[in-house]
Amino acid sequence: MHPEPAAGCEWIVEAYGCAPAALKDLDKLQALFGRVIEDLALKPVCPAVWHRFPAPGGVTGVCLLGESHLAVHTFPEHGTLCFNLFCCRPRPEWDFDSALKQEFGAASVHVRRVDRPYERT
């Protein structure tokens, strides 16, 4: 028996207790996107778009992928980072926990994986 085909997989990641300065660091956030894109062999269709919010706000970044999208939102005033990756093709798990703890000083990281099945007809 074959598994049901999936329309995609989505990773919803929240990191808490992050270093506020790291959450404002555009270079760190761009490097995070670069690592995820390279490690998972994702295909950006255009460069990522970044927006810095006025203090005390953080940064939002979005990258349109041939597989779907990659997004991040940071909230330095709360020490949190929210990350979302949707892929319409199977991908291996990525170690969000270690990366966000190492690069952003996260005290805790919660990763939810949501498999998106095709609608049954």
Q: Quick check: is 81 in a domain?
A: yes
Q: Quick check: is 65 in a domain?
A: yes
Instruction: Give pLDDT tens digits for 45-100.
Output: 999 999 999 999 999 999 999 989 999 999 999 999 999 999 988 788 899 999 99
pLDDT confidence bin for 3, thresholds 50/70/90: low
Q: Quick check: is 121 in a domain?
A: no
Note if 68 is an active site residue: yes
Note if 98 is an active site residue: no
Q: Quick check: is 1 in a domain?
A: no
Domain total in the chain = 1
What is the rounded CA–CA span in Å between residue 82 and residue 15? Answer: 6
Residue 116's pLDDT is what? Answer: 77
Q: Quick check: is 83 in a domain?
A: yes
Domain with 33 in it: 6-115
Bridge partners (DSSP) of residue 82 are 14, 73
Residue 2's pLDDT is what? Answer: 44
Q: Quick check: is 93 in a domain?
A: yes
Q: In which element (H, E) is residue 45 found?
A: none
- State the catalytic residue, choosing from 9, 18, 73, 87: 73
Q: In which element (H, E) is residue 14 found?
A: strand 6-16
The packing angle between helices 26-39 and 96-104, to 10°, is 160
Burial of 67 (0-12, 13-18, 19+ CB in 10 A): buried
Closest CA to 99 of 45, 42, 22, 47: 22
**pLDDT over 60 at 1, yes or no:** no
Q: Quick check: is 85 in a domain?
A: yes
In CATH, what number is assigned to the domain containing residue 65?
Answer: 3.60.90.10
Instruction: Give pLDDT tens digits for 21-44.
Output: 999 999 999 999 999 999 999 999
Residue 51's pLDDT is what? Answer: 98
Note if 9 is an active site residue: no
- State the catalytic residue, choosing from 18, 63, 68, 87: 68
Q: Quick check: is 120 in a domain?
A: no
Residue 92's pLDDT is what? Answer: 85
